[in-house]
Amino acid sequence: MTHSKLYSAIFAAGITFVLACLMIGIKLDTDGTQLAIKGATTAQWFWILGGIAVVFFSQLFSRQIDGMFSHLPKPQLGKLIPAQAKSDAMKPWLIAGAIVILLVWPFMVSRGSVDLATLTLIYIMLGLGLNIVVGLAGLLDLGFVAFYAVGAYTYALLSLYFGFSFWICLPLSAALAALFGFILGFPVLRLRGDYLAIVTLGFGEIIRILLNNWTDVTGGPSGISGIAKPTLFGLEFTRKVKTEGATTFHSFFDISYSSSYKVIFLYMIAVLLVLFLIYLINRLIRMPIGRAWEALREDEIACRSLGLNRTAIKLSAFTIGASTAGFAGCFFAARQGFISPESFIFIESAIILAIVVLGGMGSQVGVILAAIIMTILPELAREFSEYRMLLFGLLMVVMMRWRPEGLLPMKRPQLELNKQ
Amino acid sequence: MSQLLLDVNDLTMRFGGLVAVNGVSLKVKDKQIVSVIGPNGAGKTTVFNCLSGFYIPTEGSVMLRSEQIAGLKDFQISRRGLVRTFQHVRLFSKMTVIENMLVAQHRHLNTNLLSGLFKTPNYRRREGEAMDRAAHWLEEVGLLEFANREAGNLSYGQQRRLEIARCMVTQPELLMLDEPAAGLNPNETKELDELIIKLRDVHDISILLIEHDMGLVMGISDHIYVIAQGTPLANGLPDEIKNNPDVIKAYLGEE
Amino acid sequence: MSEFSLYLLQQLINGLTIGSTYALIAIGYTMVYGIIGMINFAHGEIYMIGSYVTFIVIAGLLGMGMVSLPIILIIALVIAIFIASTYGWTVERVAYRPLRGSNRLIPLISAIGMSIFLQNFVVLAQGARDVALPPQITGGWSFGDASSFEVSISYMQMMIFAATFITMTVLTLFISRSRMGRACRACSEDLGMTNLLGIDTNKIIALTFIIGAALAAVAGLLLGLYYGVINPFVGFIAGLKAFTAAVLGGIGSIPGAVLGGLLLGVTEAMTAAFFPAEYKDVVAFGLLVLILLVRPSGLLGKPEVEKV
């Protein structure tokens, strides 16, 4: 018993040594035109030894560690959220309070913070969108960023070539992304889940390659710059009027120009979009279609035997998810004023997936929380930024092992029968 | 004379070289309980899978109210009024009982996205009707008091009944039950027996049944088909089947 | 022959070269899928690690003054296979085994996490930039008219064909003759049943990951030497291609993976003959979607029978 534990710990440590010593211990280097190798620094060797020690002990005490994780009180984090079911009467007040804070807060902090908050809101939009696909309908989409790109480029191109405004492009972007989702989903959703994962992964790459190479239209790798900012009923947030006959925000209200108005305005739009999405998704999960998504995730065969068309139902989740990404993409393009294929690489899809996984598949509050963690943490710990993706990968493995339901497991809105 | 509801002719299903079902024919008339029996591995469930569209039969015709349904997709067949249960209960176990009943009515609901988002009167009315229908059938199978329970928390017998109620709420013409008495105690089997008869006599439904419990089959069937090794062996009234030497041999030879 | 048909012949040779390495990687996907019914998402990274190990060993041995190329290559091959197999085994042990029996989505996500982790692990350990190895195997054999178009087969390409052929033969023999191979086939027929018969299926699953990783390492060595340039991101696209090859041939079928790999390689080379080279990835992907649309079970795969 303890012997086999010790044996497996030594074995694991040995494996770690093999894995680490060649990849970390020896580094490829160029010596003139020749390829050479050099050994790791002492510090790196210490890291390797440390890693081996960690593996050794975690294997030795694996049972205790497993036990520790499974004994962690599960809904622990749920308590941080002001009682959901307990006080339905309080709920509108809480929501109202949260909205007021969201709206007042930006006026009291620095421009940088507001900007970061806007970025976080974009990730919340993306997380909520992917959550429909992965969390609710159980479809693994690894190319979510492709729809984000479609949305962003829709706005950028329409604005560049035809001078369409942000507000017109917002629904157009969502619609076009949905169309792409529909076209892609149609052949693939009939098949097993893994195919969808890999096809969406490929699709993400293809969109990026097309954007990179269709230089005449998309500007290729150098992207599109000077994308028009959103306006408030035609009021511009620039120092000087850009379009003929328009007015700027500060001259209309007769206040002095400040660049933070624009930042706050963008933030407000993001808040508005996020609130809209939350409302939308909250309605969807209470509607027949939302119930069908969940039923399909639970038992596909039973669904089919009851006359549910699984392809149509999956397609609806996939398409609605894609349209949210298009939505977010349109806003992203407007906020940045510049987009290039660089912003739409696979890593972005992986980050969004990590948000959904960390937050708790299906759980909206969880996803919002995870999006905040995932965007704020890297900002706080800049010196670790190169480890960011490594940790994301590790996090996904660890979460699936010990807490596949995420930080804040989904609380299903259960429909109840009122007995007369 | 009652109308012919389901007419299956020469149904054959091959998987590669294996012939799982070979030339099975059967008829179900309105308001009839028809049973398919046979030793284990005789291909009964495969017949069900062919009829309900999970498999596309290699040969043969399946007519439902003189419409060819062989080759249609599973969901299209169930929309035409032929629904089934499964040998191993398939409920949406994390959803409540009432939600299980609502999912089953998906196609009867107003699934228009916009009307749902804005809760239009039509949408509310349809949802309300669906609730009523669900409550009605839960009452019929005696599960109304458990409506807000998670389906996975019901007892096995209750889960079986919920599965039947969930089929009934789709308003079928033919209900196919795949070993509904498997795993039930004698008391629960008796309740099931009464329920099936009530479905036929009160709700005018036809039932096609696969069952091992001979007591149940002989007691309620209007007609019985026997299959052995994928091929039809005999068919007739319960009394005829009971005394058929071929059937006895097939069973004794197997068990 | 006309200049144009010679050009096409050249593309065909190039396509078969790349295609045979796709086939090697695709076998890893197909074997794992055949047994546990899941895609090994980290497989592309294993291939990438195989390339890195090859480069490290070759650079090290050259630096130590070793001159005999065959010996260098054999040592590199052995070490690459060993290290990559260890990685393959670890992936199974960490990302798949603890999650056996849970919802399908869960091991899938865990494997994607593993893939991201491995990729960034190599970025951190070896740097994100390209690493170039000067050509080791030079020269070749050519025919055709030197004045118009000359078709050439380099020794490197010949080596790729030979190595692929030998690897495939060894694999086929292993699967059809050895006890372990028989157990593998039994597992892919019915995992649960094989388990009941007293075969340690965990061991067989681990073995499948190891074999897949070893083949990926061979491909890593061959393609690394062929292109002469690697970076930590080569596994991503190679994995995608090899998966396409596996689906094209019919996932679960080893001959299918070989056929799919060769077909994909040729298709890409032919595309590159007529369109800008960047679009060959688009065509490969288009092919994947087309196959899924028309014949989801692939060219040689068996159609799946659902168990109701």
Q: Which of residues 75-114 of B touch C (CB under 8 A)?
A: 86
- Which pLDDT belongs to residue A174? 94
Minimum Cα–Cα distance from C55: chain A residue: A28
The more confident residue out of A152 and A241 is A152
For chain A, how are helix, strand and coil distributed in percent, rounded to 5?
70, 5, 25
Q: Is the pLDDT of residue A250 over 90?
A: no
**Cα(C155)–Cα(C134) distance, rounded to whole angstroms?**
15
Q: For the CA atoms of C90, C93, C99, C100, what is the dihedral angle to 10 degrees?
A: 130
Per-residue pLDDT at A398: 87
Cβ–Cβ below 8 Å for C308 and B15: no
Q: Is position C274 within any domain?
A: no
Average pLDDT value for residue range A292-318: 90
pLDDT of residue C299 exceeding 90: no
Strands B33-37, B206-210: pairing kind: parallel
Identify which of A193, A197, A202 has the shortest CB distance to residue C285: A202
Write down the pLDDT at residue B255: 45
* Distance (Å, whole) CA A247 – CA A237: 9
Confidence of residue A333 (pLDDT cuts 50, 70, 90): very high
Cβ contacts of B91 on chain A, cutoff 8 Å: 299, 302
Cβ separation of A417 and B166 shorter than 8 Å?
Answer: no
What tokens appear for A280 in the block?
Answer: 């939308």
Whole-angstrom distance, CA of residue B173 vs CA of residue A199: 41
- Distance separating alpha carbons of residues A135 and A297, to the nearest angstrom: 9
The dihedral formed by the CA atoms of C48, C54, C55 and C60, expressed in degrees to the nearest 10: 150
SS3 content of chain C, % helix, strand, coil (to 5): 75, 5, 20
Q: Does C29 touch chain A (CB under 8 A)?
A: no
Q: Report CB contact under 8 Å: B45, C305.
A: no
B49 contact C CB<8A: yes
Chain centre to alpha carbon of residue C113: 20
* Average pLDDT value for residue range A187-211: 83
Q: pLDDT-derived band of residue A351, with 50, 70 and 90 as boundaries?
A: confident
Q: What is the pLDDT of residues C13-72, one digit of tens each?
A: 999 999 999 999 999 899 888 888 888 889 999 999 999 999 999 988 888 888 888 899
- Spell out the domain ranges in chain B: 1-81+173-255, 89-171
Which range among A61-75, A155-169, A261-275 shows the weakest confidence by mean pLDDT?
A: A61-75
CB contact under 8 A, A28 and C99: no
Distance of CA B111 to the CA centre of its chain: 26
C-beta atoms of B49 and C308 within 8 A = yes
| Best residue in B77, B98, B99, B174 for a mutation probing chain A (most A CBs within 10 Å) | B99
For the residues A92-110, what does the mean pLDDT come to? 81
Residue A388 pLDDT exceeds 50: yes
What are the start-end ranges of the H helices in A219-363?
A: 249-252, 259-286, 288-298, 300-305, 310-336, 346-359
Q: How many domains does chain C have?
A: 1
Contact at CB, A305 and B90, closer than 8 angstroms: yes
Distance separating alpha carbons of residues A417 and A413, to the nearest angstrom = 13
| Spatial distance between the Cα atoms of C72 and C61, rounded to a whole number of angstroms | 7
What distance in Å separates residue C234's CA from the closest CA in chain B?
Answer: 40
DSSP string, B46-109: HHHHHHTTSS--SEEEEEETTEE-TTS-HHHHHHTTEEE--SS----TTSBHHHHHHHHTGGGS
Q: What is the pLDDT of residue A242?
A: 67
Inform me whether the C-beta atom of residue A65 falls under 8 Å from chain C C-beta atoms: no
As a whole number of angstroms, the distance between CA A290 and CA B20 comes to: 38
Contact between B15 and C306 using a beta-carbon 8 Å cutoff: no
* pLDDT of res. A84: 46
Distance, CA of B92 to CA of B9 (rounded, Å) = 34
| Half-sphere exposure in the Cβ direction for B216 (13 Å, CA) | 28
Cα–Cα distance measured from residue A345 to residue A358, given in angstroms and rounded to the nearest whole number: 20
pLDDT grade for A71, boundaries at 50, 70 and 90:
low
Task: For A344-383, give one letter per residue: b (16+ CB within 10 A) or e.
Answer: bebebbbbbbbbbbbbbbbbbbbbbbbbbebbeebeeeee
Task: Give the residue on A whose Cα is nearest the Cα of C107.
Answer: A400
The answer, for B98 touching chain A at a CB cutoff of 8 Å, is yes
Which own/partner pairs from A364-368 qualify as long-range (CB within 8 Å, at least 24 positions apart)? A364/A128, A364/A131, A364/A278, A364/A281, A364/A282, A365/A81, A365/A408, A366/A406, A366/A407, A366/A408, A366/A409, A366/A410, A367/A124, A367/A127, A367/A128, A367/A131, A367/A135, A368/A124, A368/A127, A368/A128
State which amino acid sits at residue A187: P
Q: Considering chain A, what is the average pLDDT of its residues?
A: 83
pLDDT of residue A82: 46
Instruction: Name every chain C residue with its beta carbon within 8 A of the beta carbon of B49.
Output: 308
From the list B15, B16, B54, the residue facing C308 with the nearest CB is B54
Contact residues on chain B for A310, CB-CB shorter than 8 A: 75
User: What's the pLDDT score for residue C305?
Assistant: 60
Q: Report the pLDDT averaged over residues A362-375.
A: 88
Question: Burial code of A224-262, b = ≥16 C-beta within 10 A, e = fewer?
Answer: beebbbbbeeebbbbeeeeeeeeebbbeeeeeeeeeebb
| C30: in domain | yes
Q: What's the gap in Å between the CA of C294 and the closest CA on chain B?
A: 17
Alpha helices in C228-302 (DSSP H): 234-249, 254-274, 279-294
Round to whole Å and give the CA distance between B104 and B137. Answer: 12
**Residues A243, A245, A249, CA angle at the centre, nearest 5°?**
75
Residues C220 and C48: their CA atoms lie apart, in Å, by 6
pLDDT tens track of chain B, all 255 residues? 578 889 999 999 988 778 888 889 999 999 899 999 888 778 888 898 999 988 888 989 999 888 898 888 888 998 899 999 998 889 998 888 999 999 988 877 766 777 777 788 888 888 888 888 999 999 988 888 888 888 888 988 899 999 999 999 998 999 999 988 888 888 888 888 899 999 999 888 999 999 887 888 888 899 999 988 888 888 888 888 888 888 888 776 644
> Which domains, and CATH codes, for chain A?
2-64 (no CATH), 92-229+266-402 (1.10.3470)
Neighbours of A398 (CB within 10 A): 15
Q: Is B250 within 8 Å of B233 (Cβ atoms)?
A: yes
Q: Hey, what CATH class is B1-81+173-255 in?
A: alpha beta
**What is the residue range of C170's domain?**
20-232
pTM across the whole model: 0.84
pLDDT at A78: 47
* Range from A23-32, A105-114, B198-207, C278-287 carrying the lowest mean pLDDT: A23-32
Q: Which residue has the higher pLDDT, C147 or A325?
A: A325
Does residue C206 sit within a domain?
yes
Q: What pLDDT is recorded for position C19?
A: 93
| Touching chains, A (3+ CB pairs < 8 A) | B, C
Minimum CA–CA partner of C275 in chain A: A213
Give B92's contacts in chain A (Cβ within 8 Å). Answer: 294-295, 298-299, 302
Q: Decide if B162 touches A, using CB distance below 8 A.
A: no
Check for a shared fold between B1-81+173-255 and B89-171. Answer: yes
Most confident of A57-61, A314-318, C185-189: A314-318
Which residue, C252, C266, C264, is CA-closest to C304? C252
Query: What are φ and ψ of residue A255, in 5° steps?
Result: -125, 165
Give the pLDDT of residue A173.
94
Q: Which residues pair with B21 in a beta bridge?
A: B13
Has residue C299 been placed in a domain?
Answer: no
Average pLDDT over residues A326-337: 92
Q: Is residue C295 part of a domain?
A: no
Cβ atoms < 10 Å from Cβ of C268: 24
Whole-number Å distance between alpha carbons of B2 and B180? 26
Query: Which chain A residues have a beta carbon less than 8 Å from that of B147?
Result: 416-417, 419
**Considering the domain boundaries, does residue C187 fall inside one?**
yes
Average pLDDT (A360-368) is 86
- Is the pLDDT at A86 greater than 60? The verdict is no
Residue range A300-321: average pLDDT? 91
Residues of C in contact with A401 (CB under 8 A): 98-99, 110
Instruction: Note the pLDDT of residue A374.
Output: 85
CATH says B89-171 is which class? alpha beta
Q: Using CA atoms, how far apart are residues A203 and A141, in angstroms rounded to an integer? A: 10
* Position with higher pLDDT, A31 vs A167: A167
Beta-carbon pairs below 8 A across chains B and C: 8
Query: Are B15 and C305 an interchain contact pair (Cβ–Cβ within 8 Å)?
Result: yes
Q: Is residue C267 one of the residues assigned to a domain? A: no
Chain A residues with CB-CB distance to C58 below 8 A: 35
Mean pLDDT of chain C: 86
The size of the A-B interface in CB pairs under 8 A is 104
Say how many C-beta atoms besides its own lie within 10 A of residue B150's C-beta.
18
Contacts of C308 in chain B (CB under 8 A): 45, 49, 54, 86
Are A417 and B86 a contacting pair at CB < 8 A? no
Q: Which residues of B3-19 are buried (b: 16+ CB within 10 A; e: fewer)?
A: eebbbbeebbbeeeeeb
Instruction: For residue A232, give the DSSP letter.
Output: B
In chain B, the residue whose alpha carbon lies closest to the alpha carbon of A299 is B92
Give residue A3's pLDDT: 73
Exposure of A97 in the CB half-sphere (CA atoms within 13 A)? 6
Average pLDDT over residues A14-25: 82
DSSP 8-class letter at B227: E
Residue A419's nearest CA partner among B101, B132, B130 is B132
Q: Is B45 on the interface with A (CB under 8 A)?
A: no
Taking an 8 Å cut-off on Cβ atoms, the answer to whether C305 and B86 are in contact is no
ipTM, interface predicted TM-score of the complex: 0.88
Choose among A283, A298, A305: nearest Cβ to B84.
A305
Q: Please answer yes or no on whether C83 and A142 come within 8 Å at the CB atom.
A: no
For residue A83, the model assigns a pLDDT of 45
Q: Which residues are within 8 A (CB) of A254 and not within 5 positions of it... i.e. 6 or more apart?
A: none
What is the widest separation between alpha-carbon atoms in chain C? Answer: 68
| CA distance linking residue C117 with residue C95, whole number of Å | 11
CA A39 to chain centre: 38
C225 CB burial (10 A radius; 0-12, 13-18, 19+): buried
